């Protein structure tokens, strides 16, 4: 929030989204809601709360992590002649080529690249957890 916005008492985007989610939470508890309306409210609440609480976009940081991992083993034959302009494509192709191979180069590739990708996936799953519950009709914890 800018200093001018703070001085004017303007609420942050996160505060507005949290407020909207709180309002919808009150509606979800109302009696007489049909299942479709309740499900739509639950899903909307989860999306609002996710957006309100998420941090900065991790894409650039993740890309840098993957490039660093790939560059650390650039001499690996599975990465021979590869330019890291599409690190996710490079990683996917190299890991696919290493399937069924137990040589030291395949092991190195898996030991260095897979943990980075798994960390990224774990972060995404943790962030998406409330959405998954919401799409099952369960209201996220407040």
How many other CB atoms are there within 10 angstroms of residue 73's CB atom?
16
Residues 119, 125, 129, CA angle at the centre, nearest 5°? 150
- Taking only the tens place, the pLDDT of each residue in 29-54 is 778 888 888 888 888 888 888 888 88
Residue 33: closest CA among 12, 25, 48: 25
Domain spans, the chain: 3-55, 59-126
- Contact indicator for 127, 50 with CB cutoff of 8 Å: yes
- Taking only the tens place, the pLDDT of each residue in 78-127 is 999 888 899 999 999 999 999 999 999 999 999 999 999 999 999 999 88
Q: What is the DSSP letter of 79?
A: G
């Amino acid at each position: 929030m800018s200093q001018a916005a703070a001085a004017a008492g303007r609420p942050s985007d996160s505060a507005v989204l949290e407020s909207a989610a709180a309002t919808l939470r009150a509606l979800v508890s109302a009696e007489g809601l049909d299942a479709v309306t309740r499900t739509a409210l639950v899903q909307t609440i989860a999306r609002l709360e996710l957006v309100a609480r998420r941090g900065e976009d991790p894409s650039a940081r993740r890309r840098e992590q993957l490039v660093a991992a790939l560059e650390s083993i650039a001499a690996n034959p599975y990465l021979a002649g590869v330019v890291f302009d599409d690190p996710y494509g490079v990683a996917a192709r190299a890991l696919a080529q290493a399937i069924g191979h137990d040589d030291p180069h395949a092991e190195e590739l898996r030991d260095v690249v897979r943990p980075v990708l798994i960390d990224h996936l774990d972060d995404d799953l943790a962030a998406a957890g409330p959405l998954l519950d919401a799409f099952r009709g369960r209201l996220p914890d407040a």
